[in-house]
Chains A and B, each alone.
Chain A
Amino acid sequence: MSEIKKIKNLKEFSTSADRFEGANLLCPGCAHSIIVREVLNATNDDLILAASTGCLEVCTAVYPYTSWDASWIHIGFENGSTAVAGAEAMYKALKTKGRLKQPERTPKFVAFGGDGASYDIGFQWISGCMERNHDMMYIVLDNEVYANTGGQRSSSTPIGSSATTTPAGSISYGETKNKKDMMGIMAAHHIPYAAQVSPNKWKDMVKKIQKGFATEGAVFINAVSPCTTEWKFDPKNTMHLADLATDSLVFPLYEVIDGREYNITYRPKNIIPVEEYLAAQGRFKHLFKDEYKYLIKEWQERVDANWAYLQRREEAKV
């Protein structure tokens, strides 16, 4: 096994060997590039990467430029996970037969996908990879919307959010379904490691990514990625929004080991009301009308119930 990269401080971390260049076409204030950089900078090992069709793929490799200083596969909308699984399986086969030309190198296999590619169209493919327990990491850049194709809802879009295919208006308050519990579903595959991360909790994130790389078997990471365009907030507030998501416990940071052992890795000192998180985004603007205010109350109750559930799971150790 390769050595775990030592990271002292944020300055060193953010300026260390860059394998993902900042010059790309992502929106100003997009969290995708920050998350990707944090993942890539967490290791010195070789990387074999894939990105499903989505904002990340479209914006980071436009001829004649590329942001990636690593092997990188762009594949269909649904099968980033499977392409990496294929590469990993082949690597394993060559290794077993002793036919690797550079056996001392220990590449890591990582697939990135948006929530559309992961929660929706690529769902069964990820499930297959987790079930077969490939030695790979699947990372969802979860911005809760199809940001690349015009802001349509995905099954990650939370209730009450206005999207182009669930528009809020005279007869609807927007999305009517709850966000899919992807972490729960992935944990139910009893994979060795699953975790939720946030770009501004970088220490927590690096720890989890490194733990994931050190794990043998399938790893699932769900990263909250505030989308300035579709969540409708000022681009300078991306990190603030990421903090609001974690501090309101809308997006709690925790990990699940072997599908059973839950560890909460971040407990906000001051838990903020969900209302504050919603108020910071244009996509929830209509919820503050009198007729929809009950939805905010329901939101808070749901978040509280989920937090209580996580704590019970953590205590129970089962």
Chain B
Amino acid sequence: MATREVISTGNELAAKAAIDAGCMFFGGYPLTPSSEVMHVISDLLPKKGGTAIQMEDEIAGISAVIGAAMVGKRALTATSGPGMSLKAEQLGLAQMAEVPLVCVNVMRGGPSTGLPTRVSQGDILQSKNPSHGDYKSITLCAGSLAECYTEVVRAFNIADRFMQPVIVLLDETIGHMHGKADIPTVEDVEAGIVPRKRFDGAPEDYLPYGCEHDEPATLNPMYEGYRYHFTGLHHDEHGFPTEEIETCRKLIQRLEDKVELHKDEIESYEEFMMDDAEVMIVAYGSVSLAAKEAIRSLRAEGIKAGLFRPITIWPSPAEKMKEYADKIEKVLVVELNIAQFHSEVQRATARLDIDGLFKVNGRPISPYEIVTKVKEL
């Protein structure tokens, strides 16, 4: 695949990726440290014929995005933790009504106002279940500048494939990082766009939610002659509210299965020096950069460490983690929160002796801290 070299920040790359992936609408609200996504897109999107609106709050931001997505366009919103908390209800609606959209979350310290200008990875568990009820979140996490671009592109394709919101996690360090990145060409991105499924038969035969047990809904764009009901209530194949026992069960089971049974299409991870590793470090986002540096130092000292970096956080690459954990005794999860992904590694590997290195003071973890911790194991 052809690439191009750019010098940019993570937030800027996320905005550019959205535009190259065909995003035509942005609705958002200023929130440090994600605001640059909105600044860049406010400038670039109108030039592409799209619309960027700064809404009156976070809830309005995602609501407008839901509306735009229902018209058949790709739509984006960007925020940080406090904004995610406010958007939660509408993320639930988008899960229930099956609206494809992308939500970039540039993580900062929490809870509440927290540490607005400092790094954190405290929203890992929030992104798994931002809203109440049962559904299966899809969350991707960028671990480099280039991935701020590629993961946003991928998120749009996944959102349209599975007809649901996709969260892309950046963190303050990656979002504000400024440097060189090799990213795919616009032509390659455009060639990779998988259009949303649509129904082309007679309007009277159209059943938006009448799909297989593991398939997403087929929501034709509005204003094209296909009428259907859109609701956050439990609904039947037409989209009309219902309390019918079997219909309700099937609907919620399908929301789960459409992702769970097709995990292989979403799963993504990086293995760094894992071939002969005797210590497995699990890290993601900006922390993985420090982990790689630490692994190089450790290897220079003869300690065979390797990195397993989930890129798709939810659903997690559980089988792969288990495979490694079955043969590697020392497993260390390094993250900027208190054991949020650590608990997932414990679950996936069915091991309670997984070690952790956690930091929650708004500062990045240094390679030195990781090296020291690995030596203590």
In the bound complex, residues from chain B placing their C-beta under 8 Å from that of A164 are: 35, 38-39, 42
In the bound complex, residues from chain A placing their C-beta under 8 Å from that of B54 are: 152-153, 165-166
In the bound complex, residues from chain A placing their C-beta under 8 Å from that of B112 are: 76
Contact of A152 among B30, B43, B47 (CB under 8 A): B30
Contact of A149 among B35, B42, B57, B58 (CB under 8 A): B35
Extra pairs beyond A155-B56, A172-B46 (8, CB < 8 Å):
A116-B30, A121-B58, A123-B56, A152-B30, A152-B39, A164-B39, A165-B30, A166-B54
Please, how many angstroms separate the alpha-carbon atoms of A123 and B43 in the complex?
Answer: 27
Interface string of A135-167 (1 = CB under 8 A from B): 000000000001001101101000000001111
Known A-B contacts A76-B82, A150-B30; the reply to A120 vs B56 at CB < 8 A is yes
In the bound complex, residues from chain A placing their C-beta under 8 Å from that of B82 are: 76-77
Closest to B56 in A: A120
Does B168 sit within 8 A of A, measured CB to CB?
Answer: no
Interface positions, chain B 107-134, Cβ under 8 Å from A, are 112-113
Does B29 sit within 8 A of A, measured CB to CB?
Answer: yes
Contact of A146 among B30, B46, B52 (CB under 8 A): B30
- Could you tell me how many residues of chain A have their Cβ less than 8 Å away from some Cβ of chain B? 23
In the bound complex, residues from chain A placing their C-beta under 8 Å from that of B43 are: 167, 169
Does A53 sit within 8 A of B, measured CB to CB?
Answer: yes
Does A171 sit within 8 A of B, measured CB to CB?
Answer: yes
Does B32 sit within 8 A of A, measured CB to CB?
Answer: yes
Seen from chain B, the residues whose Cβ lies within 8 Å of a Cβ on chain A are: 29-32, 35-36, 38-39, 42-43, 46-47, 52, 54, 56-58, 82, 112-113
CB distance from B76 to the nearest CB of A (A): 14
CB distance from B53 to the nearest CB of A (A): 9
Does A38 sit within 8 A of B, measured CB to CB?
Answer: no
CB distance from B240 to the nearest CB of A (A): 30
Known A-B contacts A171-B46, A172-B46; the reply to A152 vs B35 at CB < 8 A is yes
30 pairs across A/B with beta carbons < 8 Å?
A53-B113, A74-B113, A76-B82, A76-B112, A76-B113, A77-B113, A78-B57, A116-B30, A120-B56, A120-B57, A121-B57, A123-B56, A146-B30, A149-B30, A149-B32, A150-B32, A150-B36, A150-B39, A152-B30, A152-B39, A152-B54, A155-B56, A164-B35, A164-B39, A164-B42, A165-B30, A165-B42, A167-B42, A171-B47, A172-B46
CB distance from A124 to the nearest CB of B (A): 9
Closest to A172 in B: B46
Closest to A169 in B: B43
Most buried by B among A121, A165, A167: A165
In the bound complex, residues from chain A placing their C-beta under 8 Å from that of B32 are: 149-150
Known A-B contacts A76-B82, A146-B30, A165-B30; the reply to A152 vs B38 at CB < 8 A is yes
Closest to B112 in A: A76
Please, how many angstroms separate the alpha-carbon atoms of A254 and B54 in the complex?
Answer: 30
Most buried by B among A76, A123, A149: A149
Please, how many angstroms separate the alpha-carbon atoms of A134 and B46 in the complex?
Answer: 44
Q: Which 3 A-B pairs have the closest CB atoms?
A: A121-B57, A149-B30, A120-B56
Please, how many angstroms separate the alpha-carbon atoms of A261 and B2 in the complex?
Answer: 69
In the bound complex, residues from chain B placing their C-beta under 8 Å from that of A123 are: 56
Closest to A149 in B: B30
Closest to A78 in B: B57
CB distance from B222 to the nearest CB of A (A): 25
Please, how many angstroms separate the alpha-carbon atoms of A169 and B56 in the complex?
Answer: 23
CB distance from B291 to the nearest CB of A (A): 31
Please, how many angstroms separate the alpha-carbon atoms of A169 and B39 in the complex?
Answer: 13
CB distance from B325 to the nearest CB of A (A): 41
In the bound complex, residues from chain A placing their C-beta under 8 Å from that of B42 are: 164-167
Please, how many angstroms separate the alpha-carbon atoms of A165 and B45 in the complex?
Answer: 11
Interface positions, chain A 201-245, Cβ under 8 Å from B, are none
CB distance from A118 to the nearest CB of B (A): 11
Closest to B83 in A: A77
Interface positions, chain A 45-97, Cβ under 8 Å from B, are 53, 74, 76-78
Please, how many angstroms separate the alpha-carbon atoms of A279 and B319 in the complex?
Answer: 65
Closest to B43 in A: A167
Please, how many angstroms separate the alpha-carbon atoms of A166 and B51 in the complex?
Answer: 11
Interchain CB contact under 8 A, B46 and A165: no
Closest to A122 in B: B57
Interchain CB contact under 8 A, B46 and A150: no
Please, how many angstroms separate the alpha-carbon atoms of A149 and B54 in the complex?
Answer: 13
In the bound complex, residues from chain B placing their C-beta under 8 Å from that of A152 are: 30, 35, 38-39, 54
Closest to A167 in B: B43
Please, how many angstroms separate the alpha-carbon atoms of A169 and B58 in the complex?
Answer: 26
CB distance from A150 to the nearest CB of B (A): 5
CB distance from B41 to the nearest CB of A (A): 9
Please, how many angstroms separate the alpha-carbon atoms of A315 and B32 in the complex?
Answer: 47
Closest to A53 in B: B113
Most buried by A among B32, B54, B112: B54
Known A-B contacts A76-B113, A116-B30; the reply to A165 vs B39 at CB < 8 A is yes
Closest to A57 in B: B113
CB distance from A302 to the nearest CB of B (A): 22
CB distance from A114 to the nearest CB of B (A): 11
Please, how many angstroms separate the alpha-carbon atoms of A134 and B82 in the complex?
Answer: 28
Known A-B contacts A120-B56, A172-B46; the reply to A149 vs B39 at CB < 8 A is no
CB distance from B172 to the nearest CB of A (A): 14
In the bound complex, residues from chain B placing their C-beta under 8 Å from that of A155 are: 56
Closest to B36 in A: A150
Interchain CB contact under 8 A, A149 and B56: no
Please, how many angstroms separate the alpha-carbon atoms of A190 and B38 in the complex?
Answer: 37
In the bound complex, residues from chain B placing their C-beta under 8 Å from that of A165 are: 30, 38-39, 42, 52, 54
Please, how many angstroms separate the alpha-carbon atoms of A119 and B31 in the complex?
Answer: 16
Please, how many angstroms separate the alpha-carbon atoms of A152 and B78 in the complex?
Answer: 14
Closest to A119 in B: B56
Interchain CB contact under 8 A, A121 and B56: yes
Interface string of A115-132 (1 = CB under 8 A from B): 010011101000000000
Closest to A58 in B: B116
Please, how many angstroms separate the alpha-carbon atoms of A140 and B35 in the complex?
Answer: 23
CB distance from B254 to the nearest CB of A (A): 35
In the bound complex, residues from chain A placing their C-beta under 8 Å from that of B46 are: 171-172
In the bound complex, residues from chain A placing their C-beta under 8 Å from that of B29 are: 120-121
